[in-house]
Structure formats: C-alpha cells, structure tokens
Amino acid sequence: MRFDVITIFPKMLNGFFAEGILHQAQLTGKIEIHLHNLRDFTDDLHRTVDDRPYGGGPGMVMKVQPLFRAVKTINASLSGKRRTILLSSQGKLFRQADALRLATYDGLILLCGRYEGVDERVISFVDEEISIGDYVLTGGEIAAAVLIETVARLIPGVVGRFESVEGDSFYNKRHLGPPQYTRPRIFQGLAVPEVLLSGDHSRIETFREEQAWRKTAQQRPDILGIRGHNCAEKQN
C-alpha cells in the first residue's frame, strides 16, 4: 500500500517514519510512504502556499491551486484504487472502522492543512475530510502520522503476528482490550491476578473478557451507551 503525504513540513515526519514497524514495513515492501513538499507545486518566486482570507479575519488560509496541482500530479503517475483525504479538525471523526475501510485501498493521498485552514474549494477534489479528535492541532502532520500507522498495521505482514492486531481495542469489538501483565509477578505489592498463572485457558479467556468490559465501563462508557463514569462502581 502506498501513502502520499502533502505537507509544507516534510522533515517533520521523516523521523517518525524512519523507526519501528513503519520503517520495517517500508524495507520489506509492505508499504510505501512518500512525502511531498507543497511548495514544490507553487508557481511564484516565493513559493507561496497561503494568502489572506476573503472577508477579513485573523490568520492566513492555504491556497487551493498548489494543493490541486499536488493531488493532480501524484494521481497522474499512479494507478489502482486510491483515496484522497483532507486532514482537518472539521472532518468526520476517525474510527477503527474507517481504518479497516481505508486499508482496502491501494493508496491514500493525505493533505495536511495549516494556518487557519484550507480554501473551502479544496473539498471539491478530495474524497473525504477526516479529524483524529475533537481538538485543534497546529497542522495536519500529526494526524497524517496517526492515520498512516493505524491503517498500515492492518496490512498483513506489517505487524509480526496479526493476532496482535485482532486483539486490539476497537478491532471488531464493542469494548476495550483487557488489562495485560508481564514479569515480575509482584511489583511494589501489586500481584499479577492468579487466574493468569493457572494455565486454565478457559478461565483466563473468561477473566479477560470480564475485565475488558469492566475497563470499558470505567474508561469509555460512551462506547457502551452508558451515561456518566460511575457505572463501574455500580457493578462492584
């Protein structure tokens, strides 16, 4: 799978993609990540990517022409099933279901906004607008990194054991993952639950399922459609 990121700060992402599973996945050819400097698609001496907003107001707005040229140029050299995405705080909230859907494409083109946002006419040539949360970032680069890692780990061979992916929170589940433990058996008076040491796989599976639901009720009652955060106390 190929990811093309359009940004005015490509160096910001170099280090992130040069480490860990994303780096290994690139070396083995499971994924490709290409960073494009938006300024390379401008047509003026100063390589201008922003301008003052019509109607007045604070800040600057990213121009439509360089983004259009960048998307058109990238698409012209590629084939296959592709999707163009604008990363924006005004977009649809990104969920695991979206990652599963996007992982079926041959490639994604990601546009990283900056300043006060992008010219609204950019929407005319993107397929969707995505936000990674109900908060505002300085730019779309971090959001692009989040989306790429989330989608890439769903591609077979990127994560060593796909069972690890299937056990993740939100992966075809209505609850978070269960709490996990490793050595030492006791740390500062806190012991690993005995059931996990029993070797009884049926009991362990039941325990993990119960703990997963309990943790979800405590941390994310919204997933269960429960109001308030005292639902776990009521279960005790």
Quote the CA–CA distance of 226 and 147 in Å, as a whole number.
28
User: How is residue 139 written in tokens?
Assistant: 């730019």
Residues 165/177, Cβ–Cβ less than 8 Å: no
Structure token pair of residue 119: 């010219």
Residues 6+ apart with CB under 8 A from 17: 23, 26, 33, 35, 145, 148
Q: What is the pLDDT of residues 50-101, one digit of tens each?
A: 999 999 999 999 999 999 999 999 999 999 999 999 999 999 999 999 999 9
pLDDT, tens only, 158-200: 997 655 555 565 555 678 888 999 999 999 999 999 999 999 9
Contacts of 53 (CB under 8 A, 6+ apart): 59, 60, 61, 116
* CATH topology assigned to domain 173-235: Trp Operon Repressor; Chain A (1.10.1270)
84 strand-pairing partners: 109
Token couple for 18: 């040069």
200: which 2 tokens?
A: 């009884």
For domain 2-152, give its CATH number from 3.40.1280.10, 3.30.450.20, 3.40.50.620, 3.40.50.10420. Answer: 3.40.1280.10
Q: Where are the alpha helices (DSSP H) in the chain?
A: 11-17, 20-27, 64-76, 96-102, 141-152, 162-166, 201-219, 221-224, 231-235
pLDDT of residue 164: 55
Q: Residue 51 in 3-state DSSP? A: strand
Question: pLDDT at residue 24 above 70?
Answer: yes
**Over the stretch 90-143, which tens digit does the pLDDT of each residue have?**
999 999 999 999 999 999 999 999 988 999 999 999 999 999 999 999 999 999
Strands 186-187 and 128-131: unpaired
The residues near 181 (Cβ < 8 Å, ≥ 6 apart) are 192, 193, 196
Q: Which pTM does this prediction carry? A: 0.83
Q: For residue 180, how many other CB atoms are within 10 A of its CB?
A: 9
Task: Tell me how far CA of residue 138 lies from CA of 68, 122, 195, 202, in angstroms.
Answer: 22, 19, 46, 48
Domain boundary assignment for the chain = 2-152, 173-235
